Amino acid sequence: MDAPLRRRSLLRALGAAGAATVAGCPAGIGESAGFEPGETDWPSARFGPRNTAVHPSAPGPGGDLSVAWTASFREGSDASAGVSAISSPIALDGTVFAAADISDDSGWQTVVSAFDLTTGDRQWERSLPMSDADGEGETSPARTLGSDGERLVVGTLSEGPGLAALSPVDGETEWEASLETPFESPVTAEGGSVVVGDRLLATYDASDGRRASRYAPGEDPLWRNRFPPTVTEDTIFATDRAAIHAVDRERGERRWMASNDFYTILYGERGAPFNSPVVVDGVAYAVCGRIANRDTGGMVALDVEDGSELWTAIPEGDDPATYEGDPEAFEQAAFYGMGLVLDDTVYVQGMERGEWGWFAVDAADGSVERMDTDGGLVAADGLVYGVTAEDGGLRATSVDPSADETLGAATVDEWEDPWVGPQAVAGEYYVVTTNQGIAAFGPN
């Protein structure tokens, strides 16, 4: 990968000293719950607590895709009207679960539904009422759906913010818990605990909803992250506006904090907003930048032990620190969202000189290469799967990233101008949520 790369010394690792508040007792957080995802499981928004978005054992549909089935979030409804937020598809033992915040004549509700992975047949549907929370009108409970392998966990907003654990068998409530503040990100489950991004994070016992601990550094109290917390056996990684906090799971204390100095149009020299990192082989790969703001930012690689910088990366583009023209015409350079790691390469979406693209970042040194294919957000068995809204329909592709080659494609034509949500791979199926419903793509 010999594409030129602009760099700065962008990251500083800070010691554990500093203002950080830990409430509660983190007893039992490090214990294992014993759940090991199988081929037909995709239990979290990005498969597992390390947020890799790569299924380690599922074959996926392979290179030749076909449309297996489509389904609406609510039975008997094919319209997208009223859908404001959608979850990642969650898969457990051959069943797909998805959630959407939907408005109808009875008001706003979070609808959680279950479907057979192979046929799309609806197994059950559950509606959770939503009400306004003071000052928290943008909170979207559907986005929070996740699982610990034994139950579904979703944020609620009825009589104040909360959590609800639902049975995968029939959708019945197993437990409920009240929260001090609502949250936006999918829940992360690991080792018997559920972790939510609660200013910055809180942990709950997955079996009964009891809060075990809360970590809040006291900075930017309105910050809300839409990316799930990243969790390993001993550390929880949470992000605020411009820093990653590595929190010890047993003690509930901050081990280290790392910030970045990427120049951004929105924040100037104060650093770009961090997204949750992807942790693979002792390295945390974190994208810094928000696509919703069309801002600039890059990627950093950190040693998970001490937060020290290994490298930084950014696509080519005009330097925003010296640009004097119209920001709308700025030849933007940025990575967005979260990457996925395959064969020592971090694949990530981004902008290079104002043009959207898919990029391969060398995991060893951070060198950047622009790909010819469109890429995707989830992977299995060495292939990457992605979906785009094209010509009024929904087009899914399978890509071999090592060859930068699109192997196959399939299109859902029945939906009109869908917008695309999170995705998953379970067994031989690639599953996508949209504002118009769920689509599953299988092998031809």
When pLDDT is cut at 50, 70 and 90, the band that residue 346 belongs to is very high
SS3 112: strand
d(CA 228, CA 422): 12
What is the per-residue pLDDT for 389? 85
Picking from 195, 256, 254, 182, the residue whose alpha carbon sits closest to that of residue 224 is 182
β-bridge mates for residue 237, sequence order: 230, 246
14-18, 185-189, 265-269, 301-305, range with greatest mean pLDDT: 301-305
| Position 20 confidence tier, pLDDT thresholds 50, 70, 90 | very low
State percent of the chain over pLDDT 70. 82
Please answer whether residues 198 and 179 qualify as being in contact, where contact means their C-beta atoms are separated by less than 8 angstroms.
yes
Give the pLDDT score at 316.
84
Structure tokens at 262: 């990427």
The answer, yes or no, to whether residue 278 has pLDDT greater than 70, is yes
Q: Which of 138, 174, 141, 135 is nearest to 157 (CA)?
A: 141
The domain ranges of the chain are 11-443
Residues in the chain: 444
CB-based burial label for 337 (10 Å; 0-12, 13-18, 19+): middle
Residue 19: predicted pLDDT:
38
All residues at 6 or more sequence positions from 388 whose CB lies less than 8 Å from its CB, including other chains: 374, 394, 395, 397, 420
Bridge partners (DSSP) listed for residue 358: 349
Q: Which residue type sits at 261?
A: D
106 CB contacts (<8 Å, ≥6 apart)?
none
pLDDT of residue 111: 96
Strand order through the sheet with 173-178: 146-147, 152-158, 160-166, 173-178
CB 354 within 8 A of CB 323: no
Amino acid found at 344: D
Per-residue pLDDT band at 218 (split at 50, 70, 90): low
Tell which residue, 271, 281, 272, has the closest CA to residue 346: 281
The first and second tokens of residue 114, run together, are: 């279950």
pLDDT at 269: 62
Rounded (5°) CA angle 342-346-348:
120
Reduce the DSSP state of residue 143 to 3 states and report it.
helix
User: In sequence order, what are the residues at sequence separation of 6 or more whose Cβ sits closer than 8 angstroms to the Cβ of residue 123?
Assistant: 95, 114, 115, 116
Tell me: pLDDT of 14 over 50: no
Question: CA 47 to CA 91: how far, in whole Å?
Answer: 9
Tokens of 99: 């959630």
Average pLDDT over residues 265-280: 80
Which of 14-28, 207-221, 407-421 has the weakest average pLDDT?
Answer: 14-28
Lowest-pLDDT range of 143-147, 268-272, 304-308, 340-344: 268-272
Lowest mean pLDDT among 145-149, 180-184, 317-321: 317-321
Instruction: Give the highest mean pLDDT range of 28-37, 154-163, 166-175.
Output: 166-175
For residues 164 and 172, is the Cβ–Cβ distance under 8 A? no
Q: Which residues pair with 424 in a beta bridge?
A: 431
pLDDT at site 8: 30
Taking the CB of residue 324, how many other CB atoms lie within 10 A of it?
4
Q: Of the given ranges (51-60, 89-98, 191-200), which has the lowest mean pLDDT?
A: 191-200
Tell me, what's the pLDDT at 216? 80
* Mean pLDDT, rounded, for 186-197: 91
- For residue 411, what are the CA distances in angstroms to 52, 246, 386, 427? 26, 42, 12, 20
Pairing of strands 230-231, 211-216: unpaired
User: Which tokens in the block code for residue 336?
Assistant: 């967005």
Distance CA 386, CA 373 (A): 10
Q: Which of 224, 197, 190 is nearest to 35 (CA)?
A: 190
What pLDDT is stored for residue 16 in this prediction? 37
**What does the alpha-carbon distance between residue 24 and residue 252 come to, in Å, rounded to a whole number?**
9
Tokens 């799971």 belong to: 249
Low-confidence winner among 111-115, 247-251, 434-438 (lowest mean pLDDT): 247-251
Report how far residue 129's alpha carbon sits from residue 108's, in angstroms, rounded to the nearest whole number. 6
Mean pLDDT of the chain: 85
Q: Taking a C-beta distance cutoff of 8 angstroms, is the pair 337, 349 a contact? A: yes
Which are the contacts of 77, defined by CB distance < 8 A and separation ≥ 6? none
The pLDDT value given to residue 10: 29
pLDDT-based confidence at 2, cuts 50/70/90? very low
Q: For 11-443, CATH number?
A: 2.140.10.10
pLDDT (0 to 100) of residue 264: 72
Helix (H) or strand (E) holding 81: none
Q: Per residue in 200-213, pLDDT tens?
A: 788 999 999 998 88
Q: What is the pLDDT of residue 171?
A: 97
Could you give the percent of the chain with pLDDT greater than 90?
Answer: 58
The answer on pLDDT for 15 being more than 70 is no
Q: What is the pLDDT of residues 40-85, one digit of tens each?
A: 999 999 999 999 999 999 999 999 999 999 999 998 765 556 788 9
pLDDT at 297: 80
Q: CA-to-CA distance for 169 and 36, rounded, in angstroms?
A: 19
Quote the pLDDT of residue 24.
42
- Cis upstream peptide for 117 (omega within 30°): no
* 185 three-class SS: coil
The whole-number average pLDDT for the span 224-235 is 89
Check residues 168 and 16 and name the one with the higher pLDDT.
168
Helix, strand, coil tally for the chain in percent (to 5) = 0, 50, 50
What is the Cβ-side half-sphere exposure of residue 8, based on CA atoms within 13 angstroms? 13
Residue 409 has pLDDT above 70, yes or no: yes
Of 353 and 388, which is predicted with more confidence?
388
Q: Average pLDDT of 16-27?
A: 40
